[in-house]
Homo-oligomer: A and B are copies of this chain.
Amino acid sequence: MSTLKDVAKRAGVSISTVSRALADNSHIGEKTKERIRQIADELEYSPNYIARSLKTKGSMTLAYLIPDIENLLYPSLAVAVEKQARALGYSLLLCNTFDDPDLMNKYVRQLQSRFVDGFLFSTSLRKGLNNEAITYLKSLNYPCVSLMRNSPDNTDSVIVDNTLGAEKAVDFLVAQGHREIVFIAGSDNLELYQERFAGYKKGLKKHSIPYSDELVWPGFKGTQRIVSQVAKEKIESGKCPKAIFCASDPLAIDLLKTLHDCKLSVPEQVSVIGFDNLRVSEIFYPSLTTIEQPFFEMGKAAVKLLVAQIENPNKRNEPNLIFETKVIVRESVKLSEVK
């Protein structure tokens, strides 16, 4: 690895001249620049980003902290984030945190002192349990934005209108003639699941459908999905509704399999609607009718927000960017015939 010094020696000029020549600084003569560039090429000079960062306190790098890379949601988001980051000249580092607060802390401190310019995170904020890593970043006034999660400390965030989305799901089912709608709930320490639950109840109310706790089946026990067992029990005890709204696509997919195992046909006997529109949801059969979150746009928006923070540290933007959901009609919901 050759350094500026090596190039300078070979070119018979000072280090600063080389530095400026390669940065295409206007104070250096054209022929000198050309000669230096040539020598740098010959010596295969490549800048030491560490040294540069030490001086400039920046790195043109963003980090995206992912709670669980095996959750199908995040890879899609990561791709969107990566593409937009690159479009704006930044590199992206991905870190899988397993939602472990200690690990997040470690990553954040490490990356921050490596001059990562800003952070994106989709961390699952558990109720009550405040996230130390984020509080720390905010206390330093470090650029960061929360993606798919609303966040405390009024961090900028890019989210989806979960309540309205869930309401749309209910609207859609009702429009297809369903009035007996079971809700499979997400894990209850995630705010986004509570919002979807609220939207479900709101939807029922709007259509004057009486709500009862019986209508809600738990989809999670802690971080474990238990839809399959729950659904099996309910069905075996004869309580199978005509329509089921799942708080997320993974829940819906599990349910689809359970229904298949129970020899219930979808959508003829039971209609199922999900929430997310993961890429796999389309290839299941019946393909899943679901509520789409515009991942790609959201990822891009989050990066734009973050870069805006980095480049204008003083200016504050809107704290929350809220995206709209959309019903994606596929095969898992039986359509009303009159329609």
Interface residues of A (CB under 8 A from B): 1, 46-51, 53-54, 59, 61, 69-70, 72, 75-76, 78-79, 82, 86, 91-96, 103, 106-107, 109-110, 113-115, 140, 253-254, 257, 260-261, 279-280, 283-285
Residues of chain B within 8 A of A279, CB atoms compared: 70
Residues of chain B within 8 A of A61, CB atoms compared: 110
Residues of chain B within 8 A of A95, CB atoms compared: 91-94
Contact of A285 among B103, B107, B114, B260 (CB under 8 A): B260
A47–B94 Cα distance when bound, in Å, is 22
Residues of chain B within 8 A of A54, CB atoms compared: 48, 50-51, 54
User: Are A114 and B50 within 8 A (Cβ)?
Assistant: yes
Report if A110-B91 is in contact (Cβ < 8 Å); known contacts: A1-B140, A51-B54: yes
Q: Give, as a whole number of angstroms, the nearest-CB distance from A332 to chain B.
A: 13
Contact of A79 among B69, B107, B113, B261 (CB under 8 A): B69
User: Are B82 and A76 within 8 A (Cβ)?
Assistant: no
User: Are B96 and A78 within 8 A (Cβ)?
Assistant: yes
Closest B residue to A63 using CB positions: B93
Can you name 19 A-B pairs with beta carbons within 8 Å? A48-B54, A49-B114, A50-B53, A50-B114, A69-B69, A69-B78, A70-B75, A72-B72, A82-B96, A86-B103, A91-B95, A91-B106, A93-B93, A114-B114, A254-B283, A257-B284, A260-B285, A261-B285, A284-B284
Closest B residue to A96 using CB positions: B82
Contact of A46 among B79, B94, B109 (CB under 8 A): B109
A53–B284 Cα distance when bound, in Å, is 48
Closest B residue to A285 using CB positions: B260
User: Are B47 and A113 within 8 A (Cβ)?
Assistant: yes
Residues of chain B within 8 A of A93, CB atoms compared: 93-95
A236–B107 Cα distance when bound, in Å, is 54
A285–B264 Cα distance when bound, in Å, is 13
A300–B70 Cα distance when bound, in Å, is 17
A109–B61 Cα distance when bound, in Å, is 13
Residues of chain B within 8 A of A285, CB atoms compared: 257, 260-261
Residues of chain B within 8 A of A75, CB atoms compared: 69-70, 75
Residues of chain B within 8 A of A103, CB atoms compared: 86
